[in-house]
Amino acid sequence: MPLTVAAYDRDGGTITLIFQIVGAGTMELNTLQQGDALQDCVGPLGEPTHTEGLRKVCIVGGGVGCAIALPVADKLHKQGAVVHSVIGFRSKDLVILEDAFRSVSDETRVMTDNGSYGEKGLVTAALESLIQEGNRYDKVFAIGPLVMMKFVSLLTKKYEIPTVVSMNPVMVDGTGMCGGCRITVGGETKFACVDGPDFDGHLVDFDEAISRSSMYTEFEGRRREDACRLFVKEPQ
């Protein structure tokens, strides 16, 4: 299960993971109590995010993808770059890390699909608004659902802004041997666990990635039902 480190304490020897309960695996994680343990935790895997030489960037995060986007925004802020952040959620009750983003961003826009908090609309609307206001970004980092990253990349391609996306497909071994996390980038096969997670958003075949992401929907549904029976107690 690929999970991204949202924060870490090197002296304390701890890492912070943020996840949303969407399937059997995250349901099981949610049952852990203080003092419980995972059998294995391996990482970091893949390639680091490159931020060198960037003077002005826009970070676009969607949903729990914001947990991945925050460390990128923080690093760029510490390097002295101007950071604009656009974070989007389905509704107010799903908003996370807003204060943390504001603390490392020169400008922050919060979007919700239903308008229950911040501005109503998609992150692409806020991003295009910032571009049309005259902001010239060296790079855009988009991290979130595949559909969101696809349309952010289509938008930035129109404005010729280099864009990095973070790909997080189903992974099995994390070494590139199983091939489960393969994606097509610029016509070539890449493995997100070793070549990624960052890729050029203008070269990623998002339609293929979206299609592959639905391959395990039926299996995951059965596993979720099994987990529900195992971890959710019947009312007395």
* Beta strand 14-17 pairing with 5-9: antiparallel
CA distance 121 to 29: 32
Mean pLDDT of 120-130: 98
> What are 149-200's pLDDT values in tens digits?
999 999 999 999 999 999 988 888 888 888 889 999 999 999 999 999 999 9
Q: For 167-204, b where at least 16 C-beta lie within 10 A, e where not — what string?
A: bbbebeebebeeebbbbbbeeeebbbbebbbbbebbbb
Mean pLDDT of 97-123: 97
Position 236 scores a pLDDT of 47
> What are 29-44's pLDDT values in tens digits?
889 999 998 888 888 8
Position 231 scores a pLDDT of 56
Q: Considering the entire predicted model, what is its pTM? A: 0.89
**Looking at domain 5-229, does it have CATH number 3.40.50.80?**
yes
Residues of the chain above pLDDT 90, percent: 68
Phi, psi values for residue 121, rounded to 5°: 140, -175
